[in-house]
Amino acid sequence: MNEFRLTLRLQGKEENGGDVLFNDFIKQLEAFKIILADAGRRVSGGKTVEFKVVELSHNSPAMVGVEPIVGKGEPDYRAAWRKRIIDDIESIQDRGVAPDDMGTIELEHVEQFGSMVGDELSEATILVDGREIPVSPRLKKNVKQIVGEDEYSKGSLTGMLEAINVHGDELAFWIYPPTGRSKVRCVFPEAFKDRALVAFEKYVTVYGWVRFKQRDSHAYRIDIEEIEIHEQDDLPTLADFKGIAPDATGGIEPHRYARAFRSA
């Protein structure tokens, strides 16, 4: 028994002899890594968690086992991390209930983790101390029910652009606002690709359609129509917000504007 290990077992479709296609394997591992990291941040007070591979095999089904790395002198949160992941998956999949500290972005990561089961994969199972926790299409279905439909408003968000993906089906980067949600997904058209790359690791303000979920107090996504890159001297201070005009919402309903503003 390894008290800190989580193992993911994957089985491909029968027409591929049970083997997992390479692109599908990478996609599922990426989704797995993201939910592991999300849980790590939540149990460690927001720290970035690194993992090591402690098991790797391909005997159809393929398996990969991981556990967190704990630095010398750091608190050991590995047991809490593993319990959090199992509790979250079982709560969402079996009971349709998400933890209070799991926001829309984290829930979308869980949805992505479960989205390939039944389509590209015939099986995805988490193994822990002899237990098997099968991932079923119900996981994706329940996440969709929990987060509900999108609400939209025209608006803007400001933050540091610290991650970008220009190779997937949807071009996107993530900004990290100084307050509110930890990150917001920003989806942009091909025409903004070069500008997005120039803006990497800079403060930006993005304008467009801001998306909310009813269960959240902050925006989780914006579909971009304009990107403004800030030089350090251009950034506002708290004093700049004193005496703001009562009609400064630009036509956005006040409660939605406030929610977008808190995310900026």
DSSP-assigned states of every residue in 10-37: EEE-GGGTTPPPHHHHHHHHHHHHHHHH
pLDDT number for residue 100 = 85
Mean pLDDT (the chain, rounded): 84
**Distance (Å, whole) CA 124 – CA 64:** 11
pLDDT number for residue 78 = 92
Rounded to two decimals, the pTM is 0.68
Lowest mean pLDDT among 16-25, 198-207, 225-234: 225-234
CA-based R_g, the chain, Å: 20
pLDDT at residue 65 is higher than 80? yes
Is residue 190 located within the same domain as residue 234? yes
DSSP code of 248?
T
CA angle at 60 for the pair 33 and 7, rounded to the nearest 5°: 30
Given 95, 114, 147, which residue is the final one in a domain? Answer: 147
Is residue 139 located within the same domain as residue 167? no
Q: What is the mean pLDDT of residues 8-25?
A: 91
CATH at 164: 2.40.50.140
Is residue 49 located within the same domain as residue 133? yes
Give 226 or 231, the one with higher predicted confidence.
Answer: 226
The pLDDT tens digits of the residues spanning 78-113 come to 999 999 999 999 999 999 999 988 888 889 889 999
Given 96, 131, 147, which residue is the final one in a domain? Answer: 147
Total of domains in the chain: 2
Is residue 36 located within the same domain as residue 139? yes
Q: What is the mean pLDDT of residues 132-151?
A: 91
> Whole domain around residue 100: which residue ranges?
6-147
> Phi/psi of residue 32, each to 5°?
-65, -45
Does a structural domain hold residue 1? Answer: no
Is residue 142 located within the same domain as residue 254? no
Provide the 3-class DSSP secondary structure of residue 142: helix
pLDDT band at 220 (very low <50, low <70, confident <90, very high): confident
**Distance (Å, whole) CA 53 – CA 119:** 26
Quote the tokens at residue 60: 């159809």
